[in-house]
Copies of this chain bind each other. A is one copy, B any other.
Amino acid sequence: MIIRIEPDSDIPIYTQITNQIIEGIARGNLHFGDSLPSVRAFAGDLGVNMHTVNKSYHELEKKGIIRIMPKSGAMICSAQELKDKASLEKLSEAFRPLVAEAMVLGMEKEQIGELMKSIFQSITEKES
């Protein structure tokens, strides 16, 4: 799986890494139980600071998507672990301000639903 860093983006680099790993899992390019590269190797590959990769891994751990083990490194959780640890409530809280923003832009419930469908589609379809 190829991670593309956009240095000029408004989105911090560690979040770009986090988001692309999550999309990689969603799209099936990365799999439950897969090991992630070591922080050092990944940072070297991407040409970013080790601190940046570290921050991304910790963000993924906080979301309940990966496990970080002292010796064996970072590993994507199993589907079951993900369901146990990751919280739908937290995800719902994260969606909330964006839904409010969409409402402020005049979007109706149905339009927001359509937007979600098109994003879902584009994640599924996009080749990486």
**What residues of chain A have their CB less than 8 Å away from a CB belonging to chain B?**
15, 18-19, 22-23, 25-26, 63, 65, 79, 82-83, 86, 88, 91-92, 94-106, 109, 112-113, 115-120, 122-123
Q: Is the interface of A mostly helix, strand, loop or mixed?
A: helix
B104 touches A116 (CB 8 A): no
B98 touches A98 (CB 8 A): yes
Judge whether A103 and B19 touch: CB under 8 Å: no
Q: How far is the CB of A55 from chain B (nearest CB, A)?
A: 15
Q: Please indicate the chain B residues that have their CB under 8 angstroms from the CB of A117 in the complex.
A: 109, 113
**Residues in chain B near residue A63, CB distance under 8 A:** 101
Shortest Cβ distance from residue A24 to the other chain B in the assembled complex, whole angstroms = 9
Find the B residue at minimum CB distance from A86: B105
Given contacts A25-B104, A120-B112, contact A91 B98 (CB under 8 A): yes
